Structure 1
Amino acid sequence: MRRALRTLTIWSFIWFTALASAFPAGAQETEADQEAVEVENGNLINAVVDEMIVADDLEILLVPLTAEELSQIAGTWQSYVRSRLEEVAQVNLQLRSASGTREDSLRSQLSSLNDSGSDILNNYRLVLEAWTLKGAKAEELEPHTDYILALKTGALKTTDLQTLFQNAWAWLFSWDGGVGLLMAGLGVLLAVWAMMFIARMVRRVTERGLNKIPTISRMLKRFIATAVYWAVFVLGILVVLALFGVNVTPLFAVLGGLSFILGFALQETLGNLASGLMIMVLKPFDTGDYIQVGGSSGFVDEMSVVSTKIRTFDNQIIIVPNSKIWGDVITNVSASEERRVDLVFGIAYSDNAAQAIEVLKDLVARHQLCLKTPEPEIFVGELGDNSVNIFCRPWVSVR
């Protein structure tokens, strides 16, 4: 027992000694790590506020910084812009009284200052954009945005016409200016054409797949193919805009707001849309069918998600909203492959009705379009005021 207690005491001493030595070491390691992080953060901020940094590198280095750090960095870049504009202002003052070789030298110096100032101003904007994405408040950003706006107005007022013309000419033929804008425009046009081509190809593949499904109506196939085309095209355009640096996130917010507003403003149109989708899915009729609906009758020429176009026998076009069709009784004359034709023949009371019935039976039997089964019905249907009416009801194929 004593031996066990002695062993336990020794191990307890060793354990507490190890803990006592571990905690200071851990504290030292934590302090060392913290110092390393501080040094790393200091190096990152020093790199971000480097006046000669390239815009592409700056955009990458701005990602890990916090909003508080970006607010201080924005002030630093604002001071760079102010310092460069002060140099530009001094050169502009000297240009007013300069001439000859001195004027050419000053204009060359001014052009160089404008180029470097443009790069600094662009980096300043990148910092403000990163700060905005990190949750900068409007009242914090307002002094910076007002300062940039005032710079543009002041530059136009204080720069002479010759310098403005030279700057405009240089911008027109620079990759950051007119040439770049032209190439971007051509790139957008090429991308739009490519998206249209891809959307057409996807639509054709979709149509081929839908044609293998016999239970889907032609109207629904056309609707699905069109929806796929526009979905691919719109998504492709959004991807292209994102590749060109356009922030597409606000577009989704705008679309969400518009859909909410249009949902109230276009309730009847949305009802037609829902009715059109129900007609396409449940397929009470298809294009080419002869229907009777809503007091109108004719062949279905075309159907959209909003309305249906019906062509009458006298070649009139009737546009019926889908909600009117779906909410009414639909008679599809072309739905069945076989249809009965109801004919009425009147004979005089002095004529032989039995003989007339036999003549009609013979005509129906010899007619190529009349079916043998179901058998035709021929009988005296009614006694009119001036004639005996014989009903003749043969069956024909509508295909």
Structure 2
Amino acid sequence: MNAFGTVNLIVDEIVKAEQAGSDVAEFKQSIVELIQKRMYVLDKEIKEQQQSFIKEQAELEPKSTAALLSYMHFLSQQDLVYSTSTNAVLDLETLGVAPETAKEGLIDKLYQRSEGFAGLVILVGNQQDELNRMLRITPTDQSLKDQLAVVTEQLKIAGESFKLSVELLTNLGFDADFYQSIILKLGGQLTTEILDPAVLSNMALRAWSVIVDYFSENGGEWVFKLLIITAIFYISRTLSRVFRRFLTKSLDRSNLRLSSLMKEMIISSASRFIMVIGLFIALAQIGISLAPILAGLGVAGFIVGFALQDTLSNFAAGMMILIYRPYDVGDVVEVAGVFGKVKSMNLVSTTILTFDNQTLVIPNSKIWGDVIKNVTAQQLRRVDLVFGIGYGDDIEKAERVLAELVNGHKCVLQSPAPTIKVNTLNESSVDFIVRPWVRTEDYWDVYWDLTKQVKLRFDLEQISIPFPQRDLHIIKELD
């Protein structure tokens, strides 16, 4: 075959000489005759190799190592002969000779060879898929592993010769687009021919044909499964909503002292549990195994948990708040340096509405890691007030006035009894502490009312409310 490499070089030189105007007609004719004789020999070699291979395979055990080696040797011989024959035809065309009969015969042989390979690739590929499926069921079966190794090697060998045959057909001007889609299944390298619009169109038509055939055979089954899945999802969603409403009403009517967060978590968890059960049932209907999904969720949960450590710390703090219930929705609290009313809460964060109408979302980890002050946790609160009078004013009178104002307020409770005492002798005033008890919701009303009423009444009773002052004594020095 190396002689034909030399012939190719000679053909190139003849073409260059003719282009230069040299007379090489006699030499050219001799080369043409040499190529034609060699093509006859090559055609004879193809037939002899095929007969020898058939005879040899009959003496060997099918799918044995010896049979596989014989198959490899046969294909390599055939590949070389067909490649050389194709080069010979192309050389004759380069020299201006039209070997139509030889070319058509070679194209016919390559076409039959490609057809055989196409069927073989599909058949062996199906065998490979079946063996892989069986190995997934019995992964320790050595016999299956050996069969798979032989089939895989056979597919690889046939695939290489198949690609070469298609390439030779293309070089001879034959439309081999049909085979490119089959070559793609072998996982080989993409060639420029595959990117040709005709090739892509052929592949798309074949894919569409496969889809149509599949749904023609299995369409009814899939439609039935789709209807079942839709019904399962609808039933699960309906049950989830009904159970959510039922559970909400039950918890609202029960005597259990549950926080809003606990109620919401119980209701949400129960409704979502129903949806998850429905999802698993739907997946089982289409033949999806749940074990790999659950295992995957476990691995994904570990990865997500590692990546979201801060969020998980908030979640853990939310669980502590859920268990110990230091506050609930509607309580007025001071947490993480923020004072306001709890608007909403979940396991990750708490939303506070301040009294100047700002909405603040605070992570639960910051709340649980600091002091929590719940202003409205108790039903009763004590209002702490301080009023000062001058040193020249009547203490008994002032105390009597304060008692009248406190006891006369409709929101002040008589039990526990209010406290009115002289507490401090300051530099400029005598200070009374006034500490009435009120309901928590009346705290600020009483605070503001008493502050205003004390000022008005002290003015009316001519009781002074002194401001800080300092007496300076100036001593005049005598000369």
Q: Same fold per TM (> 0.5)?
A: yes
For residue 224 of structure 1, what is the amino acid of its counterpart? Answer: I
Deviation of the 1:190 alpha carbon: 4.1
Distance 1:233 1:345, change over 3 A: same
Distance 1:261 1:164, change over 3 A: closer
List gaps (5 residues or longer) in structure 1. 1-116
Instruction: Please report the RMSD computed on the Cα atoms of aligned residues, expressed in angstroms.
Output: 4.1
Are residue 324 (structure 1) and residue 366 (structure 2) matched?
yes
Are residue 305 (structure 1) and residue 347 (structure 2) matched?
yes
Corresponding residue for residue 206 of structure 1: 247
Output one character per residue of 1:14-50: Cα deviation in whole Å (capped at 9) or x when no partner.
xxxxxxxxxxxxxxxxxxxxxxxxxxxxxxxxxxxxx
Give the distance between the partners of 1:199 and 1:373, measured in 2 at CA.
49
Are residue 380 (structure 1) and residue 380 (structure 2) matched?
no
Deviation of the 1:250 alpha carbon: 1.5
Give the distance between the partners of 2:209 and 2:411, measured in 1 at CA.
85
For residue 247 of structure 2, what is the amino acid of its counterpart? Answer: T
Give the SS at the match of 1:237: helix
Give the distance between the partners of 2:151 and 2:315, measured in 1 at CA.
48
Corresponding residue for residue 285 of structure 2: 243
Give the distance between the partners of 1:284 and 1:269, measured in 2 at CA.
21
Give the SS at the match of 1:298: strand
For residue 264 of structure 2, what is the amino acid of its counterpart? Answer: R
Deviation of the 1:173 alpha carbon: 6.9
Deviation of the 1:345 alpha carbon: 2.7
Give the distance between the partners of 1:190 and 1:143, measured in 2 at CA.
47
Distance 1:267 1:161, change over 3 A: closer
> Rg larger in 1 or in 2?
2
For residue 279 of structure 1, what is the amino acid of its counterpart? Answer: I
Output one character per residue of 1:157-208: Cα deviation in whole Å (capped at 9) or x when no partner.
899589649837845973624x765665565444333322222233334334
Give the distance between the partners of 1:281 and 1:162, measured in 2 at CA.
61
1:154 counterpart (159, 182, 191): 182
Give the distance between the partners of 2:180 and 2:274, measured in 1 at CA.
40
Are residue 132 (structure 1) and residue 160 (structure 2) matched?
no
Give the SS at the match of 1:314: coil
Q: Please tell me whether the aligned partners of residues 271 and 323 of structure 1 are also in contact (alpha carbons under 8 angstroms).
A: yes
Distance 1:218 1:152, change over 3 A: farther
Count of paired positions: 282
1:230 counterpart (272, 281, 285): 272
Corresponding residue for residue 469 of structure 2: none
Corresponding residue for residue 357 of structure 1: 399
Give the distance between the partners of 1:172 and 1:350, measured in 2 at CA.
107
Give the distance between the partners of 1:251 and 1:152, measured in 2 at CA.
36
Q: Please tell me whether the aligned partners of residues 229 and 285 of structure 2 are also in contact (alpha carbons under 8 angstroms).
A: no
For residue 242 of structure 2, what is the amino acid of its counterpart? Answer: M
Q: Choose 192-201 or 248-257, whichever is displaced more.
A: 192-201
Q: Please tell me whether the aligned partners of residues 216 and 281 of structure 1 are also in contact (alpha carbons under 8 angstroms).
A: no
Q: Please tell me whether the aligned partners of residues 318 and 365 of structure 2 are also in contact (alpha carbons under 8 angstroms).
A: yes
Distance 1:268 1:153, change over 3 A: same
Give the distance between the partners of 2:277 and 2:393, measured in 1 at CA.
77
Deviation of the 1:344 alpha carbon: 2.4
Distance 1:185 1:134, change over 3 A: same
Output one character per residue of 1:321-370: Cα deviation in whole Å (capped at 9) or x when no partner.
22222222222221211111112234444443332322222222222211
Give the SS at the match of 1:221: helix
- Listed as ranges, the matches of 1:1-399 within 5 Å are 128-129=132-133, 131-135=135-139, 140=145, 153-154=181-182, 164=206, 167=209, 170-171=212-213, 174=216, 176-177=218-219, 184-185=225-226, 187-211=228-252, 212-398=254-440
Q: Please report the TM-score for the alignment, with normalisation by the length of structure 2.
A: 0.50
Give the distance between the partners of 1:363 and 1:142, measured in 2 at CA.
101
Output one character per residue of 1:32-88: Cα deviation in whole Å (capped at 9) or x when no partner.
xxxxxxxxxxxxxxxxxxxxxxxxxxxxxxxxxxxxxxxxxxxxxxxxxxxxxxxxx
Give the SS at the match of 1:374: coil
Q: Choose 200-209 or 287-296, whichever is displaced more.
A: 200-209
Output one character per residue of 1:239-293: Cα deviation in whole Å (capped at 9) or x when no partner.
2111121222211111111222233222222222122112111212111111222
Distance 1:322 1:144, change over 3 A: farther
For residue 331 of structure 1, what is the amino acid of its counterpart? Answer: K
Give the SS at the match of 2:216: coil
Deviation of the 1:383 alpha carbon: 3.9
Give the distance between the partners of 2:367 and 2:136, measured in 1 at CA.
52
Output one character per residue of 1:198-219: Cα deviation in whole Å (capped at 9) or x when no partner.
2223333433444424232221
Q: Please tell me whether the aligned partners of residues 381 and 389 of structure 1 are also in contact (alpha carbons under 8 angstroms).
A: yes
Deviation of the 1:371 alpha carbon: 0.6
Q: Choose 212-221 or 364-373, whichever is displaced more.
A: 212-221
Give the distance between the partners of 2:245 and 2:133, measured in 1 at CA.
42
Give the distance between the partners of 1:286 and 1:335, measured in 2 at CA.
9
Give the SS at the match of 1:382: strand
For residue 398 of structure 1, what is the amino acid of its counterpart? Answer: T
Give the distance between the partners of 1:188 and 1:255, measured in 2 at CA.
22
Q: Please report the TM-score for the alignment, with normalisation by the length of structure 1.
A: 0.59
Give the distance between the partners of 1:381 and 1:272, measured in 2 at CA.
46
Q: Please tell me whether the aligned partners of residues 310 and 317 of structure 1 are also in contact (alpha carbons under 8 angstroms).
A: yes
- Aligned residues: percent identity? 35
